[in-house]
Structures are given as structure tokens and as C-alpha cells.
Amino acid sequence: MSRLVLVSNRVPDVKERVQSAGGLIVGLGEAVRDTEGLWFGWSGQHHENAVSSDVQIEQLHRVTFATIDLTTDQYTRFYENFANGALWPLCHYRLEMIRYRQEDYDSYKKVNALFARKLAPLLREDDVIWVHDYHLMMLGAELKKLNIRNRIGYFLHIPLPPWSVTRVLPCAGALLSALSEYDLIGVQTEEDRENFNSCFSATGLSTRVEHFPIGIAPEEFREEARRNVDAPEVVRLMDSLRGRKLVIGVDRLDYSKGIPERIKGFEKLIQRYPQHEAKVVMLQIAPVSRAGVSAYQHLRREVDELSGHVNATFGTFDWTPVRFLTQSVPRHVLAGFHRRADIALVTPLRDGMNLVAKEYVAAQDEDDPGVLILSSLAGAAPELKAALQVNPYDPDQIAEALHLALTMKKEVRKKRWRFLNVEVQRNTAARWAAEFLSVLKEVR
Ligand code: ADQ
């Protein structure tokens, strides 16, 4: 069997593989678990001066982890400014937030070329190479320049807009041209696939694009949730609620996740339906992410203000309506929280997939499941049709969905959950990886 080579910007260290708040890491952990593999990427370290050009190697079971450091300049320009300051807002349809600078794009190209130069000597002839995400759009083309003839697949975890939007980025044509050198491009949804094809046909390019919606390891998450339903932190949370219903939101603190609109929706619920006053608590867990990018600092302030406003307006001496936490919560505790939560509010303005929605479903108690409120603009929406779907830009719809969920009969909750659970159980992370790789092995 040929070896699987994974390349992603971040390579998890052992601790992180258990605790990380990154979606890619969770999905890929599944993919390499049962094969011999090499996982190559950035170590997470950056240094002011020229870094040692060494590749750091670590072995864990049958997987070799190979990482390189970046300079602080590369970290700032390639990672913060270009990947997170230009590509991320573009792909999430937030054109006003794009900060494009030629120097940052140059750094992006250089880091993609650096990855290729460091990876090439580690490759074997029959390796299958699978590159991940928006940081590494040009890696395949750079490897080909070095005469690497292996099959190279690429998966984009975030959305891709149609050409009418994508063309806003001055270097869009060059990026698409590099992307067309991959043997297979995988995306999350049918819509992303159509958009890719729209971009390729407008620029006279082509390669095979298919959609492979990513999943979770549902059995494991369900077990985690069951085991932790009475974990000390979960018991303390339940005690603190004193019988009130729990609405949970779990995200990285990112402007794509629609957190302000969600809090406004919760506020409207309390305004419009006084019967829920002092009967429900919203727990929003959103660890700070990409704090070096200015848009994220603004978001932090906005969410602080909005949650403070709701609490000051509606709170009483013994009821705080919104609990906003930027501390991270360990994964096993989150699983227990999910199982106890009556409602999950998963309302991104755009999302490649959104695995939190699937984790919430997997964590539920089948005899008394909670209700998933899901953005119709999340990549998970086409699969999770039995969720209460809302337009995430509209706090009124969020308020109505919350009211419906809070008053939903158990039989209806069970029926909806069973439909959701079938989807989550069917389309696992392992299956996602297997399907991508089987198509990759047959192309060309
Ligand atoms: P993310 O934007 O990071 O991922 P998401 O898919 O929702 O988003 O979450 C990924 C993982 O991170 C999940 O396992 C989740 O539990 C965990 N996570 C999120 N918030 C957390 C928190 N506050 N504390 C602890 N863990 C947290 C990107 C894309 C998504 C896509 C994934 C996978 O943006 O659209 O679903 O990659 O492809």
C-alpha cells in the first residue's frame, strides 16, 4: 500500500491532537490513523531571524510528523496578512475585510515554494500526496516545478465564491492557475464545486473538482459525551443554571461565525417572549483566534459589548442571560456540555462545513435530545435538513427558531434528531478521507 503524505499549514503536536480547536486537525487525525503516513507542515514556531533550515522529525505510531519553522516576517505576511487577512475574508464573502498587499502575496508564494523544497526530499515515488486548505493553494504547482510526479490532491476546507466574487482579489487568476495543477480538488459542498468550475471556466483552466462533505468520528464523540455527562465541570454548570434551559454556542472567535447576530437573536427572544425571561441561559464559548489580525480585535470588542448590553438590560441579581467565555474548554468537557444543552445555536454567516453542528447531534441523548438551530449558509446545511434552519443575518429568524425549539415537544425533537443522527453517523471523517483518496487514486 502506498504511503499517505498529508500537508497542512499546522501540524498538531501530540497534546494538541487531543485539545485543539482546529477542524482540520480533528478530521485528518482520522485519516492517518490506520495507514503509514507522513504529515508535513509548519511547526507553529516563528523566529525573528533566519530560522534553521532543518526539518524537525517526530514519530508517533505509524505516522512521521515533519515540521519546519517560519520567520516572524513570513508568519506576519504569509499567514496573518495574506492567508487570514485576504483569502479568509474573500472565501467567506466578506469583501470589505480583504486587506490585499502585493508584498504579502509574494510572501505567500515564497512560503508555498519553501514548503515544496523542504517536502520534496522526504517523498517516495509511490506516495500519494494530499494538501490541505487555503494556506497552500500553490504547493502542488511548486512541487511539480521540482519534478515531483506523484499524484497530488487538494482539499479546500472553507467555501469558494463564484468568479464574480473571487475576481476581486488581484491575484485570483494566478491562484486558480496554480490550483488547476492539482490532480483532484475536493470541496465541502455542491455549491463550492459549481463555484470552482465557474472560476476555472472564466479563466480558461480546468481540473477535476468533486465535493466531499467532511464528517466527525461520531461514535467516539458520542461516547465522550456519555462518559462526561456528569464530569465535575458539567455538574457545576448544571448546578449554576438552577433548572434554566441551556442554549450553547461553540466556535472560534471568528467573524464568519455570526456571533453578534446570534446574541441579537437571543436578545429578541427575551424581548418578544417574556415567558422565557429568567428561564434560559445562553453560553457562548469562543476562544480568541488570530488575535494578530485587526478584524478579530474588533469582533472581540463587539461581542463583549453586545453580551454586556443584554446582561445589563435584562439580567437580574440572580440571572445572567448571556455567558460569554473566551477561555478554551477541554474537548471532553465540551462533549458533556453539548449533551446537557437543550439547544445548540450554530449560525455562521458562512462556513465551509461546521463540525460543531455534527458534534452536537452526536452528543445527544436519544431519549431526550436537544434541538439544533443551524445556519442555512453553513456547508452542513444540505446534509442536516432536519435542523431548524435560519438565515444567520436575521436576528428575528433566530429568535423565532429559539422560541420554537424551547417549546418543542419531545416526540418532535426525537424525530428531528433521528434524521440528523442518520446523516452524522453515515458520513464520518474516516469515510470522507477514504472517498477523497479513492477518487484521487483513480484520476489521471
Ligand atoms: P473551523 O472554522 O475551525 O474549521 P468547525 O468546523 O466549526 O470550524 O470546528 C472545527 C473543530 O474545532 C470542531 O471539532 C470543534 O469542536 C472545534 N472547536 C470549535 N470551537 C471550539 C471551541 N470553542 N473550543 C474547543 N473546540 C472548538 C474549518 C472550517 C469549517 C470546517 C472545518 C473542517 O472553517 O467550515 O468544518 O475546517 O473542514
SS (H, E, C) the chain: CCCEEEEEEECCCHHHHHHCCCHHHHHHHHHHCCCCEEEEEEEEEEECCCCCCCCEEEEECCEEEEEEEEEHHHHHHHHHHHHHHHHHHHHCCCHHHCCCCHHHHHHHHHHHHHHHHHHHHHCCCCCEEEEECHHHCCHHHHHHHCCCCCCEEEECCCCCCCHHHHCCCCCHHHHHHHHCCCCEEEECCHHHHHHHHHHHHHCCCCCEEEECCCCCCHHHHHHHHHHCCCCHHHHHHHHHHCCCEEEEEECCECHHHCHHHHHHHHHHHHHHCHHHCCCEEEEEECCECCCCCHHHHHHHHHHHHHHHHHHHHHCECCECCEEEECCCCCHHHHHHHHHHCCEEEECCCCECCCHHHHHHHHHCCCCCCCEEEEECCECCCCCCCCCEEECCCCHHHHHHHHHHHHCCCHHHHHHHHHHHHHHHHHCCHHHHHHHHHHHHHHCC
Q: Which residues contact 105 (CB under 8 A, 6 or more apart)?
A: 82, 86, 170, 171
The x, y and z cell numbers of residue 53, run together, are 533550515
Q: According to the model, what pLDDT value does residue 18 have?
A: 45
Rounded distance, CA 239 to CA 244, Å? 10
| C-beta separation of 200 from 206 below 8 A | yes
Q: According to the model, what pLDDT value does residue 123 have?
A: 97
Q: Starting at the edge strand that comes first in sequence, how are the strands of the sheet with 245-250 ordered?
A: 322-325, 280-285, 245-250, 343-346, 371-375, 388-390
Closest ligand 1 atom, residue 26 Cα: 14
Q: Ligand 1: which of 133, 156, 354 to mutate, judged by most atoms within 8 Å of the beta carbon?
A: 354
Is the ipTM beyond the 0.95 threshold?
yes
pLDDT band of residue 21 (cuts 50, 70, 90) is very low
* pLDDT average, residue stretch 104-114: 98
CA atoms lying within 13 Å on the CB side of residue 277: 12
* pLDDT average, residue stretch 72-98: 97
**In angstroms, what is the span from residue 119 Cα to ligand 1's centroid?**
27
- CA 325, chain centre distance (Å): 19
Rounded distance, CA 260 to CA 273, Å? 20
Percentage of the chain surpassing pLDDT 70?
95
Closest ligand 1 atom, residue 251 Cα: 20
* pLDDT average, residue stretch 352-361: 98
Q: Which residues contact 197 (CB under 8 A, 6 or more apart)?
A: 209
Rounded distance, CA 62 to CA 301, Å? 44
Q: According to the model, what pLDDT value does residue 63 have?
A: 85
Question: What is the residue with the minimal CA distance to atom 10 of ligand 1?
Answer: 23
Q: Which residues contact 61 (CB under 8 A, 6 or more apart)?
A: none
Return mean pLDDT, the chain. Answer: 94
Q: Ligand 1: which of 160, 220, 252 to mutate, judged by most atoms within 8 Å of the beta carbon?
A: 252
Find cell 489580525 and name the residue: 293
* Longest distance between any two alpha carbons in the chain, whole Å: 68
Q: According to the model, what pLDDT value does residue 26 have?
A: 57
**In angstroms, what is the span from residue 429 Cα to ligand 1's centroid?**
13
Q: According to the model, what pLDDT value does residue 32 have?
A: 64
Q: According to the model, what pLDDT value does residue 31 have?
A: 64
**Confidence check: pLDDT of 219 > 90:** yes
Q: Which residues line ligand 1 (CB under 6 A)?
A: 21-24, 26-27, 157-158, 214, 250-252, 285-287, 328-329, 334, 351-356, 359, 379
Q: CA-CA distances (angstroms) from residue 86 to 50, 117, 169, 260, 380?
A: 25, 25, 8, 22, 24
Q: Which residues contact 93 (CB under 8 A, 6 or more apart)?
A: 159, 161, 165, 349, 350
Residue 201 CB burial class (10 angstroms; 0-12, 13-18, ≥19): exposed
* pLDDT average, residue stretch 351-370: 98
173: left (phi over 0), alpha (psi -120 to 50) or beta: alpha
Active-site positions read: 157, 351
242: left (phi over 0), alpha (psi -120 to 50) or beta: left
The x, y and z cell numbers of residue 191, run together, are 455549491
* pLDDT average, residue stretch 137-144: 98
Query: By mean pLDDT, which of 44-48, 135-139, 187-191, 397-401 is the weakest?
Result: 44-48
Taking alpha carbons only, the member of 167, 113, 172, 122 closest to residue 141 is 113
pTM of the model: 0.96
The x, y and z cell numbers of residue 257, run together, are 461565525
